[in-house]
Structure formats: structure tokens, C-alpha cells
């Protein structure tokens, strides 16, 4: 399940914007933060998908939720204008924001590529390597 963040836990676990204007991530794992609200229809679609992903990526990626109704300051710090908005936080780079109810496959590929830096298979390139599959030279 995704843990709900309030301002205090956000400052502690994610980014203390009261201390520093420059992004400095306090987390121990790459993180996805779902900015949502109870009245938002698409948010109800994204929520369960993120819960599934939080199980699939357990121990690799942390998942959090921010209720923008209750945490308006956090929403304004990130300039959230439409929800759901998802903040993807890699360990060593600037965070990225995606807006809208993205399908699970899209979320997985963003997590794999941008948060975990896994090689994402390119569907258009199926060239066979002449030295066989176990060759280390590529």
C-alpha cells in the first residue's frame, strides 16, 4: 500500500523545502508520489494500480500519496494544477512530473527506465547478435 504523506512526513522523508530551495531528496529508495483528491474520478483508477505496483516493486521503489485537499501547501510547492499528478523521484536526479491517469504499462516503463535505470527493451530493434545471446561484448 502507498503511505499517505502530510507536510511533516514529506519534509522528513522526501524534501525539506523549508530548509533549501534546491532539490535534495531525503529518501532511501527511488519514489513515486501520487497527488490526488477524494473527489477526483481518475484518481480512483490510479490509486489501486499504484498499490499493485508498490507490491511489485517492494524494496526497490517507495510509493506515497498526497491528498491535495488536505495538503494544499504541498500541492502548491509542486505547482499541482490537475490531478492525478505523479511525481517520479530518482535517487540522483531531478524529479519528473506526469499528469493524468496513466496506464499501468506506462507507469512501469517510467519506473524501470527513469527510476531504476533498467534497460527498457525497444520493440522496434530486434537485431540478433552474431556472437550469441551470452556474449558480453555489447
Q: In terms of DSSP bridges, do strands 3-4 and 96-99 run parallel, antiparallel, or are they unpaired?
A: unpaired
Task: Work out the percent of the chain whose per-residue pLDDT is above 70.
Answer: 86
Q: How much is the pTM?
A: 0.84
Give me the domains of the chain, ranges plus CATH numbers. 3-115 (3.40.30.10)
- Write out the three cell numbers for 126: 530486434
pLDDT one-digit tens code per residue, 53-75: 999 999 999 999 999 999 999 99
Catalytic machinery residues: 40, 43
Which residues are within 8 A (CB) of 9 and not within 5 positions of it... i.e. 6 or more apart? 3
Amino acid at each position: 500500500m502507498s503511505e499517505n504523506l502530510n507536510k511533516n512526513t514529506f519534509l522528513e522523508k522526501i524534501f525539506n523545502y523549508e530548509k533549501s530551495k534546491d532539490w535534495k531528496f531525503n529518501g532511501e529508495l527511488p519514489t513515486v508520489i501520487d497527488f490526488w483528491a477524494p473527489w477526483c474520478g481518475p484518481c480512483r483508477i490510479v490509486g489501486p494500480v499504484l498499490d499493485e505496483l508498490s507490491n511489485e516493486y517492494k524494496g526497490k521503489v517507495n510509493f506515497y500519496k498526497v491528498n491535495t485537499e488536505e495538503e494544499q501547501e504541498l500541492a502548491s510547492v509542486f505547482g499541482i494544477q490537475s490531478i492525478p499528478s505523479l511525481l517520479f523521484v530518482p535517487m540522483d536526479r531531478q524529479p519528473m512530473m506526469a499528469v493524468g491517469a496513466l496506464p499501468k504499462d506506462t507507469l512501469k516503463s517510467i519506473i524501470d527506465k527513469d527510476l531504476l535505470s533498467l534497460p527498457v527493451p525497444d520493440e522496434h530493434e530486434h537485431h540478433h547478435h552474431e556472437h550469441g545471446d551470452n556474449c558480453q561484448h555489447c
